[in-house]
Amino acid sequence: MPQHGETLLRPDEPVGHRSAARRLTTAIPADLLNQGASRLQALALLYAFTFFMAAFVPTLIFEPGVLREHPLHWLPGVVSIVIALSVVAVLRTTRLEPHMVMVAALTFEIVGSYGIAAAEFVHPPGLNVGPPWIGLSWVAAFVLIFNVVTPVPPRYAVLAALAAVSAVPAMVLVSVATFPPRDGTPGGLLLFFAFGFPYLLVVIMAYVGARVVYSLGREVSRARELGSYRLVERLGAGGMGEVWKASHRFLARPAAIKLIQSSVAGASDEARRRFEREAQVTARLRSPYTVTLFDFGVADNGAFYYVMELLEGLDTDTLVKRFGPMPAERVVYLLRQVCHSLSEAHASGLVHRDIKPANIFLCRYGEDHDFVKVLDFGIAKAVHDMAETQVALTVANVIHGTPAFIAPEQALGGVDVDPRADIYSVGCVAYWLLTGQLVFAADAPMKLLLAHAHEEPERPSARTELPIPRELDDLVLTCLAKDRADRPASARRLLERLDGVAFDRPWTDARAREWWQAHVPQ
Which residues are tagged catalytic?
Answer: 354
Distance CA 393, CA 106 (A): 58
State the amino acid at position 204 in one-letter form.
I
Cα–Cα distance, 443 to 451 (Å, whole number): 12
Q: Rounded to whole angstroms, how far apart are CA atoms 449 and 443?
A: 11
CA 335 – CA 488 distance, rounded (Å): 14
CA distance 110 to 102: 13
Is beta strand 304-308 parallel, antiparallel or unpaired with respect to 293-298?
antiparallel
Could you tell me the CA-to-CA distances from 216 to 93, 144, 152, 265 in Å, in that order?
A: 31, 17, 12, 29
Whole-number Å distance between alpha carbons of 331 and 342: 16
Q: Does the N-terminal peptide bond of residue 154 adopt cis geometry, omega within 30 degrees of 0? A: no
Give strand pairing partners of 305: 259, 297
Cα(277)–Cα(157) distance, integer angstroms: 49
Between CA 268 and CA 453 the distance in angstroms is: 31
Distance CA 139, CA 145 (A): 10
Q: Fill in the amino acid letter for 482.
A: K
Strand-strand pairing, 381-382 and 360-365: unpaired
Determine the Cα–Cα distance for residues 407 and 479; give it in Å rounded to an integer: 10
Question: SS3 for 84-96, per residue?
Answer: HHHHHHHHHHCCC
Q: How does strand 360-365 pair with strand 313-315?
A: antiparallel
Closest by CA to 146, choosing from 65, 54, 209, is 209
Strands annotated E in 309-430:
313-315, 350-351, 360-365, 368-374, 381-382
Residues 347 and 298: their CA atoms lie apart, in Å, by: 27
Give the Cα separation of 8 and 441 in Å (integer). Answer: 34
Helix axes 328-347, 491-499, angle to 10 degrees: 150
DSSP character at residue 361: E
**How many C-beta neighbours within 10 Å does residue 80 have?**
24
Calculate ∠ Cα 439-441-442, nearest 5°: 145
